């Protein structure tokens, strides 16, 4: 049995797949930041996107993410994860 693969098409598809993690974090950051509750602005101001990571760099991030704030009863991680799952499915289906 022989399988013939057009290497240019394969290469283009693989390049698209390789770009997905960075593109995903770029798209997920605004969702993550917008889901972060805002009262004084400290939490949102200390929410960062560094390479492939989304960081909440303040001591009470865990409490906020557990629904401590009425502004974000679901926290901010779970809504962002839901967005990421949908986004990745969409991107992979394009490839």
Task: Express each pLDDT in 30-74 by its tens digit.
Answer: 999 999 988 888 888 999 998 888 998 889 999 999 988 888 888
Task: Express each pLDDT in 76-86 by its tens digit.
Answer: 999 999 999 99
Q: Using alpha carbons, select from 65, 69, 66, 46 the residue that is nearest to residue 57.
A: 46
Contact (Cβ atoms closer than 8 angstroms) between residue 10 and residue 88? no
pTM greater than the 0.85 cutoff = no
| Cβ neighbour number for residue 94 with a 10 Å cutoff | 9
């Amino acid at each position: 049995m022989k399988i013939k693969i057009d290497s240019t098409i394969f290469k283009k598809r693989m390049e698209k797949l390789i770009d997905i993690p960075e593109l995903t974090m770029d798209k997920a950051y605004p969702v993550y930041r917008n889901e972060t509750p805002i009262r004084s602005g400290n939490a949102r101001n200390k929410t960062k996107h560094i390479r492939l990571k989304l960081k909440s760099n303040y001591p009470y991030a865990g409490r906020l993410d557990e629904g401590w704030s009425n502004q974000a009863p679901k926290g901010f991680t779970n809504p962002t994860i839901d967005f990421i799952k949908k986004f990745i499915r969409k991107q992979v289906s394009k490839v």
